[in-house]
Amino acid sequence: MDGTKTAAKPPNPAETVTLVENSSGRRWDLPVLSGTIGPKVIDVRKLYSETGYFTFDPGYTSTGSCESRITYIDGDKGELFYRGYPIEELAEHADFMEVSYLLLKGELPTPEQKRKFEWDIAHHTMVHEQLTRFYSGFRRDAHPMAVMCGVVGALSAFYHDSTDIYDPHQREVASYRLIAKMPTIAAMAYKYSVGQPFMYPRNDLKYADNFLHMTFAVPCEEYRVNPVLARAMDRILILHADHEQNASTSTVRLAGSSGANPFACIAAGIASLWGPAHGGANEAVLKMLTEIGSKSRIPEFVKRAKDKSSGFRLMGFGHRVYKNYDPRAAVMRRTCHEVLDELGVKNEPLLDLAMELERIALEDDYFIEKKLYPNVDFYSGIILRAMGFPTSMFTVLFAIARTVGWVAQWNEMIEDPGQKIGRPRQLYTGHQRRSYVPLHRRG
């Protein structure tokens, strides 16, 4: 979608690493590829065919799954760039539509490009009227992420004219439909859970304002979107928009690599994001803070988090990539104070608890040694609860934001000339070949 083809860079012939088979002393030289910034990679695409060896990396801690030009993270420095722009600058100066255009197209939009993009998105925010009937099939107390998985996956049953993934125009229409309809579908999930009528999107409202209106307005009276809350919502969407090859983005890429339609791929991403180790952490943080209840109990929970046998982890802490403060968490903490101030919340016990927990954890040798810092999910729940969202909606908001990242990464994968279906191998540790034993001779 960004108009230029990504092509696998030729190996740097001057640079190779040598793999040696100790038993026989055989040697293989593997090419090393360099990116713009960040770690170099050892190109193992021919490793199995040339050596008979697989690599083994179950959590992909040392594995680059693709070449990408969208988002860069430096975990040691705590840096995050969208198309080269630092997240702090985008959160401060841009809005979510501008950032969405940047992630999709590769460049910040001109005023005219931004105006047209916003118009295009706004005119895709309605959903097919029949889709509203899906909701009545769910229990009122269904988790909204379950509703999102179901309804977003069902979009492919309504929009057949944008499922040909090899047609760039259809890909763009599907991309815009997904970005535009996620807030509508999410707001409908919330309205259904509280028994209120659905509110239609309004084309005169900006993206974040429209979402707040669809969520909190009722037909009986005028609803004025609070501009401070709308700006905070917009910034939260920017912070969550993309994040390199995280679990849900990798899920979208893997689903898309088989040629599955974009609506099915994004539904798969929503399912992966739901997990408490990933996007579900913002909901888990609030549940954890509520369980801690008072500052006096913080040491007890920190102790549990350090005890492997407890199975308990400090939710909102730690990250596979960040071994420094998540730059998004810092912006989120500032936004938290802004929102609480705007709402006149002078004393938010959960925020006091979160800040004390952060202070204690960051002074604890266990967290220092393992480089565990607050991540994007640590403060987001406090803001969202103050804005009126139920805890069960927190990950839904994450999914709304991340849809543009998933869609941008999905387009990049489809446009990659080197793209193949994702098909990892394994280290097999099961039985050797053995013969069937008839039932009467067993037991």
Query: Which residues belong to the active site?
Result: 319, 377
Count the helix, strand and coil residues of the chain and give each as a percent rounded to the nearest 5: 50, 5, 40
| Closest distance to ligand SDX from the beta carbon of 355 (Å) | 17
Our finding on whether 262 is near ligand SDX (CB under 6 A) is no
Residue selected from 177, 235, 319, 333 as contacting ligand SDX according to rule CB under 6 A: 319
Our finding on whether 376 is near ligand SDX (CB under 6 A) is yes
Our finding on whether 314 is near ligand SDX (CB under 6 A) is yes
Per CB under 6 A, the segment of 182-190, 226-234, 314-322, 412-420 that binds ligand SDX is 314-322
Nearer to ligand SDX, 25 or 59 (CB): 59
Nearer to ligand SDX, 90 or 173 (CB): 90
Our finding on whether 269 is near ligand SDX (CB under 6 A) is no
Our finding on whether 149 is near ligand SDX (CB under 6 A) is no
Residue selected from 43, 98, 377, 416 as contacting ligand SDX according to rule CB under 6 A: 377
Tell me which residue has its CB nearest to ligand SDX.
Answer: 318
Residue selected from 289, 305, 330, 384 as contacting ligand SDX according to rule CB under 6 A: 305
Our finding on whether 372 is near ligand SDX (CB under 6 A) is yes
Instruction: Write out the binding residues for ligand SDX, residues 30-69 only, by CB under 6 A.
Output: 59
Q: Which long-range contacts (CB under 8 A, 24 or more apart) does 78-82 make?
A: 78/322, 78/324, 78/325, 78/326, 78/327, 78/373, 79/327, 80/243, 80/327, 80/328, 82/241, 82/242
Amino acid at 366: Y
Per DSSP, which regions of 317-432 are E strands? none
Nearer to ligand SDX, 182 or 214 (CB): 182
Using alpha carbons, select from 331, 38, 388 the residue that is nearest to residue 212: 388
Asked whether the beta carbons of 382 and 348 are under 8 A apart, the reply is yes
Residue selected from 177, 213, 243, 385 as contacting ligand SDX according to rule CB under 6 A: 243
Q: Using CB atoms within 10 A of its CB, is residue 396 exposed (0-12), middle (13-18) or buried (19+)?
A: buried
| Closest distance to ligand SDX from the beta carbon of 33 (Å) | 22
To the nearest 10 degrees (0 to 180), the angle between helices 262-273 and 144-154 is 170
Residue 41, classed as helix, strand or coil, is strand
Beta strands across the sheet bearing 26-33: 12-21, 26-33, 41-42
Our finding on whether 410 is near ligand SDX (CB under 6 A) is no
CB atoms within 10 A of CB 433: 4
Q: Which long-range contacts (CB under 8 A, 24 or more apart) does 88-91 make?
A: 88/327, 88/330, 88/331, 90/238, 91/235, 91/238, 91/239, 91/331
Per CB under 6 A, the segment of 90-98, 143-151, 229-237, 277-285 that binds ligand SDX is 277-285
Which conformational region is residue 334 in: left (phi greater than 0), alpha (psi within -120 to 50 degrees), or beta? Answer: alpha
Our finding on whether 320 is near ligand SDX (CB under 6 A) is yes
Residue selected from 17, 157, 228, 277 as contacting ligand SDX according to rule CB under 6 A: 277
Q: Which residues bind ligand SDX (CB under 6 A)?
A: 59, 243, 246, 277-279, 281, 305, 313-321, 370, 372, 375-377
